[in-house]
A and B are shown apart, each in its own frame.
Chain A
Amino acid sequence: MTNIIEIKELIKVFNDGRKNEVRALDGVSMGIPHGVVFSLLGPNGAGKTTLVKILLGISYPTSGSIELFGENFRNIQLKKRIGYLPENHKFPPYLTGEKLLKYIADLYGYRPANLDKRIAQMLEIVEMSKWSKTKIKNYSKGMMQRLGLAQAILHNPELIILDEPTDGVDPIGRKKIRDLILRLKAEGKTIFVNSHLLSEVEMISDSIAILNKGKVVYSGTVDELTTQKQIYEITLNREFDDYIKFKLEGFQVVDWKERKFRVKIGKESELQRIQQILQENNYLLLGLNQVKTSLENEFISLIEKTGNENE
């Protein structure tokens, strides 16, 4: 099956040729398959929002090609199949939550027979039923965000694009939003999330891409990024002595700690050799683990490696 989003060599230059020219996207290519939770990460100003806006026809690409649902993205009817939560959205303050959803349904040309019921359901899902008849101008930030989610999924879209969905939401609210995202995924939807909240992304994403200064600096799964294949942590039954340290000198041991040490492995045979040496010296191997770092560590080191815009 083709990808739901297919981006090739996308370039976006704002104010092209002028003094304040900004290269917001610089040759971005990515493919996002159906039915996954995909997160686009990156520091402020990396180009995440710009990418999403181009997908939705809010900004125009300078060059490159984009396909949505296997079709040229310029086909305006495709937008009916996409739900979108904009970053820092402002909804008409004079509408109530319920009226806003009616308005959004109108804008999508979404007119099912049971629209009122559907609206009530959506408000229920985001726990806003209580506020459905309150004007938006009286909503808190978290309530706005929840309503924003409701309007993004109202017309039952196949692709849901959420730009910073947990922005301004408290920890409990965030957990609920994560649950909602997973629930949507279980229903077969594809969810595209822009975020810089790494710990959250880590919990829900099937795949991620990291954008820095308009370039993709990583794409793959969180696991692939945080599981460093070459570093192993070895736990022994007793503290090691200098002799064993001497014996292991030929290996890249990075960290000695009481009964544990970490070692960088080039080939698997090296690991076998280490095991052998330990056995010969009457050490018992209690644990052998691949080292996982946090997404945050990897993110920071990647951004530092590729240069941080904000510095």
Chain B
Amino acid sequence: MSNVWTITKHTFREALSRKVFVTFFLITTFVLAILIAAVLAINLSNIFGPISMKLKIDGDFETKIFSVLKLFLISPLYSGGLFLAIFSSSSFIPTMLEKGNIELLLSKPIKRGELILGKYFGVTSMVFVNVAYAVLGFYFILGLRFHYWDVSFLITIATITFAFMVLYGLIILIGILTRSSLSAMMLTYLIFYVFSPLLAHREKAFYLIESKIIKGVLNVLYYIFPQTSDIGSITSAIALNKEIASYQPIFVSIVFIFLTIGAAIFIFNKKDY
């Protein structure tokens, strides 16, 4: 276990040395700064005050405004933040496998599985820190400025990071198989932005499709592909303080992580370098 920790620690440091994560940080900081400027300029109570007085709208309307605001912040973080995260993390495994690097690592008393796990935890913890920074930033801005403290909003840190954890299992597997960060990145984008959303909404297309076989295939694909779109929906539901429709995507995704990481370790163990 201490070997995994060693690799995690050094992967985290490697991530810090990469410009992309720093960029991620800077973009987040920039967005937070703009947000701060905006909330300082707009005095929400000036808006709410007269309205609620005149129309006698209770706190419910206010809550709705905040919900929309939270969604407005969290959606770009989910799709844009994960875009950056995939972009910056897809090269870790190919870099590790480069001639001259891999020999050094494999000559050490560390199991190959421990190397993979260390990379996995190192990169995901970096993404976690980035996401937490952004969400906590939003949380404190809303709280300090408007006295709107919604602790459940912080759960989105976990769900967004979890979505990345699902994708990163896949990125590691493709990285081990192809040694190419470009293919890992492209395939993951394709799944994240195209397949997963399409498959998540497959039922809307079902009334157009006659064939039971095609429906069945789509259903199977839905369970095979990482359900990041559904995790996105769960994240939105949390931001909107809505009921979460189903926890099933979480469980399926956990299985997905185990399968991809397991396969990556299995294949890595067999390879010559």
- Interface residues, chain A, CB within 8 Å of chain B? 14, 53, 56-60, 76-80, 82, 84, 86-92, 94, 103, 106-109
Contacts and interface: CB of A to CB of B under 8 A. Distances in A.
Q: How large is the interface on B (under 10, 10 to 19, 20 to 34, 35 or more residues)?
A: 20 to 34
A307 B273 CA distance: 27
B18 to A, nearest CB: 9
Contact of B103 (A76, A79, A86): A86
A88 B108 contact: no
Given A86-B103, A109-B2, A59 B109 contact: no
Contacts of B45: none
Nearest to B102: A58
B14 A58 contact: no
B107 A57 contact: yes
A56 B14 CA distance: 25
A77 B273 CA distance: 20
Nearest to A89: B100
B154 interface: no
B100 A88 contact: yes
B17 interface: yes
Given A86-B100, A88-B99, A107-B6, A58 B109 contact: no
B104 interface: yes
Contacts of A107: 6, 105, 108-110
B106 to A, nearest CB: 4
5 contacts: A56-B103, A58-B107, A86-B103, A91-B104, A107-B110
Q: Which 9 residue pairs of A and B lie closest in terms of their CB atoms, listed nearest first? A: A90-B100, A94-B17, A86-B103, A59-B272, A107-B108, A79-B109, A56-B107, A84-B107, A58-B106
A154 to B, nearest CB: 12
Nearest to A79: B109
B13 to A, nearest CB: 8
Interface string B1-39: 011001001100110010000000000000000000000
A177 to B, nearest CB: 19
Contacts of B108: 79, 107-108
Contacts of A84: 103-104, 107
A60 B14 CA distance: 29
Contacts of B272: 14, 53, 58-60
B62 interface: no
Interface SS of chain B: helix, strand, loop or mixed? helix
B101 A90 contact: yes
Contacts of B110: 76, 107
B111 interface: yes
Contacts of B58: none
A155 to B, nearest CB: 10
A53 B101 CA distance: 13
A237 to B, nearest CB: 60
B203 interface: no
Contacts of A53: 103, 272-273
Contacts of B6: 106-107, 109
Q: Which interface residue of B3, B14, B272, B273 has the most chain A CB atoms within 10 A?
A: B272
A277 B5 CA distance: 80
Contacts of A79: 107-109
Contacts of B13: 94
Nearest to A91: B104
A94 B14 contact: yes
B98 interface: yes
B17 A58 contact: no
B109 A89 contact: no
B106 A57 contact: yes
A78 B109 CA distance: 7
B98 to A, nearest CB: 6
B106 A109 contact: no
Contacts of B111: 76
A58 B270 CA distance: 10
Q: Which interface residue of A14, A58, A88 has the most chain B CB atoms within 10 A?
A: A58
Interface in B87-107: 98-107
B14 A108 contact: no
Nearest to A94: B17
Contacts of A108: 108-109
A58 B108 CA distance: 10
Contacts of A86: 100, 103-104, 107
Contacts of A78: 109
Nearest to A49: B103
Contacts of B105: 107
A80 B6 CA distance: 15
A178 B123 CA distance: 41
Nearest to B115: A107
